[in-house]
Structure 1
Amino acid sequence: MKNNSKILMIGPDPDSFGGISSVIKLYQGSFDDVMFLSSCKNGNIICKILFFGYFLLKYLLILFKNKSLRIIHIHVSTGASFFRKSIVVNIAKLLNKKVIFNIHPARFNEFYENSHPLIKTHIKNILDKSDLILILSEKIKIDLMNICPDGNFKVLYNPITIKELKIKTSKDIKALFLGKLCRNKGVYDIIEAAKQVKSDNIKIYLYGDGDYKHFQKLIESNNLQDKMFISGWISGDKKEKIIETSDIFVLPSYTEGLPISILEAMVNGLPIVATPVGGIPEAVIDRVNGFLIEPGNYNALADKIELLANNKELRNKMGQESFNIAKEKFDISVIVNQLKGIYEELLG
């Protein structure tokens, strides 16, 4: 802990599953003058409750011990994450700290609309208390301004580390999916698309947390073992190697914020087949560095995978554009400089 820091960043454990954890890990390696405190980690409900209790004790200790602390930067999702972080916000405001509420999911407005009127009031109250609300895309900003018209909103993209682009030479085409294995991420649509892919040189690889055994049985029941491979969550060097050796990235989600998995694929020069939801259109430009299809349209998903697989020139051209866009808009150095400017503005 940096006892003289003016900024405390709060979010999930950087080694946990998910995009927010990946963002936290990148920020940890980029700021020398920011404290980091984990509010949750992987585990069952009892472990999560106990960990949050332990977090609150550490949080209070830091607040009372570190007199120079002025900004609390809170990364938040929906559901239980929001209710945990609302406690963090209320404590910070009681002690006259400035709060940055960093909302990651695109479906936050749905979370609000589907809540009980009393919960809606609580959500709006927390947004109103926040000195700055960071969101991942202009579309999400428009949605949230309907909830909190007087909120101080600013778009800050998720960051990614830029590295040297490697040339791909494989003849067999690997289409890759990384994310939670569930309906919302379009996994059933990927399986339906695989049924229609005719080229023998294409194989679709699925990696993620969730009930992968259920989807494995579904793949087997449809006799797709030769076309698809599925496994659990991967991270670190193994994930890097798998992305580097893939040719196409697919993410046919129904809702998204700004997926780290897409940014990771772009940095590795992959063309993207995704849906125009959340912040994705601000990373994937249709027919420039990939294709945007409507959620649920597995026929179009199959067509675009096949088109990219059978056109090396198009695949390489779109992959290069992915890399260029990632370098220009999402490079960690670009995002960190923007965030430093935000901190300086709040500090006055």
Structure 2
Amino acid sequence: MCLNKTKICMVVQDRMVKGGIAAVINGYRGSKLETDYNIQYVESYKDGGKFKKLLKAISGYFHFAKVLLVDKPELVHIHSSFGPSFYRKIPFIYMASWAKKPIINHCHGADFDSFYLDASEKKKRLVEKVYNKCSVMIALSEEWKARLRMIVPSEKVVVIENYSTICENSLADRLNRKCNNQILFLGEIGHRKGGYDIPAVVESLAQSVPDAKFVLGGAGDVQQVTELLKSRKVEAKVAFPGWVRGDEKDRLLRESDIFFLPSYNEGMPMSILDAMGYGLPIVSTNVGGIPKIVKNNYNGYLCEAGDKEGFAEAIRSILTDESKRISMGKASFQIVIDGYSLETHISKLESIYEKYSNSKC
């Protein structure tokens, strides 16, 4: 065992931030990663108004400078996304570069087209300059690796998929109860994750499964989606519990029969992996890293983004066929066990730490 553990500075979000990035990072806390390495967390972002976000970023920059100068970590691991997150991370990347620290940029972004492909030449040059200061870029899927290779050399990009927390007794409980006809969505309610398509799916499914109910757990355009539901007279079939975590999230995952994520852009959704760890069949889209974890007609169904009738038919076919619902749930659970556990994720991450840190145990 290493007595002097390698110091890693990890730039992260506040642990109470809503979304998949914070969920990934929160899984590291108390894990084998902290046993094997001396992890020093620097928080750079929190939910709230612009002023709160600005103060958090500024305090993060000062904290990071102190860690570099005083604690002297052997490498820096930055969790980033596209959009505003990219700009917030520039000072961290430049400071780490000036300090001659290896930089791991863990890229969780989803909307690559608007971020880079459709950007001005000036912005493209900035992205290329910043990303090429990093020693390695972590992509969430092979598709995202191919996209990042447009910006940095291919040898700088590695794939580490997100992970799932496995809940064995949830699968066992589901196999021993009747179908609740409950469909669960977890995530930001808006255009990117297909929130505006859901009302049409609810209306279509109601014709064949009238007691089906949807639970949309998340924040965002709740009022706008509610108005669309009202216009179709199906608002009574949908519940909005708000952003859920902890015991409430656990309860919803246990009570539901299908996980539904009609996204237009994704990396490797933590919400799908979480649902698979609870043994849920998945209905989603063939974007980003989703086809890597959802196999059509095996542990769920994949539709084209925006295919509302396709979504409704996929959900109907699972709810009305008990053997399919059970077999798909078991398949989801097995996929997670075979390759998407936290232990597998940490093992891949530690191999990168060992490669790029200045000292070895």
Distance 2:353 2:185 in 1: 35
1:256 aligns with 2:266: yes
Could you list the runs of 5+ residues in structure 2 that have no partner in the other structure?
Answer: none
Equivalent pair of 2:9/2:67 in contact (CA under 8 Å): no
**Residue 220 of structure 2 is aligned with which of 167, 186, 210?**
210
**SS of equivalent residue, structure 2 residue 172:** coil
Equivalent pair of 1:109/1:143 in contact (CA under 8 Å): no
Q: Which residue of structure 1 aligns with residue 173 of structure 2? A: 167
Give, as a single letter, the amino acid of the residue that structure 1 aligns with 2:163: P
- CA displacement, residues 246-304 of structure 1 (integer Å, 9 cap, x when unaligned): 00011010000111100011001110000010010111011111000000100000001
Q: 1:77-92 counterparts in 2 under 5 A?
A: 77-92=81-96
Give, as a single letter, the amino acid of the residue that structure 1 aligns with 2:337: K
**Residue 195 of structure 2 is aligned with which of 187, 200, 220?**
187
Equivalent pair of 1:109/1:144 in contact (CA under 8 Å): no
Distance 1:227 1:281 in 2: 29
1:57 aligns with 2:58: no
The TM-score, its normalising length taken from structure 1, stands at 0.95
Q: Which residue of structure 2 aligns with residue 152 of structure 1? A: 156
Give, as a single letter, the amino acid of the residue that structure 2 aligns with 1:143: R
Distance 1:163 1:204 in 2: 22
Distance 1:163 1:205 in 2: 20
Distance 2:30 2:292 in 1: 25
Q: Which residue of structure 1 aligns with residue 44 of structure 2? A: 39
Equivalent pair of 2:262/2:285 in contact (CA under 8 Å): yes
Q: 1:1-348 counterparts in 2 under 5 A?
A: 5-30=6-31, 31-32=33-34, 33-67=38-72, 69-149=73-153, 152-164=156-168, 165-168=171-174, 169-197=177-205, 198=207, 199-347=209-357
Equivalent pair of 1:171/1:201 in contact (CA under 8 Å): no
Greater Cα shift, 245-254 or 117-126: 117-126
The TM-score, its normalising length taken from structure 2, stands at 0.92
Greater Cα shift, 199-208 or 104-113: 104-113
- CA displacement, residues 102-126 of structure 1 (integer Å, 9 cap, x when unaligned): 1112323541122222221110011
- CA displacement, residues 78-122 of structure 1 (integer Å, 9 cap, x when unaligned): 111001112101110000000001111232354112222222111
Q: Give % identity.
A: 34
Cα 1:160–1:150 shift into 2, 3 Å: closer
- Aligned residue pairs total 345
Cα 1:321–1:4 shift into 2, 3 Å: closer
1:167 CA displacement = 2.4
1:190 CA displacement = 1.5
Cα 1:52–1:259 shift into 2, 3 Å: same
**SS of equivalent residue, structure 2 residue 220:** coil
**SS of equivalent residue, structure 1 residue 237:** helix
Equivalent pair of 1:212/1:231 in contact (CA under 8 Å): no
1:214 CA displacement = 2.3
Distance 2:332 2:242 in 1: 26
Distance 1:171 1:286 in 2: 21
**SS of equivalent residue, structure 1 residue 180:** coil
Distance 1:170 1:201 in 2: 14
Give, as a single letter, the amino acid of the residue that structure 1 aligns with 2:101: K
Give, as a single letter, the amino acid of the residue that structure 2 aligns with 1:90: Y
- CA displacement, residues 294-316 of structure 1 (integer Å, 9 cap, x when unaligned): 00100000001111010011011
Equivalent pair of 1:186/1:253 in contact (CA under 8 Å): yes
Question: For the aligned residues, what is the CA RMSD?
Answer: 1.5
Greater Cα shift, 228-237 or 310-319: 228-237
Cα 1:202–1:271 shift into 2, 3 Å: same
- CA displacement, residues 306-327 of structure 1 (integer Å, 9 cap, x when unaligned): 1101001101100000000011
Greater Cα shift, 215-224 or 268-277: 215-224
1:330 CA displacement = 1.1
**SS of equivalent residue, structure 2 residue 235:** coil
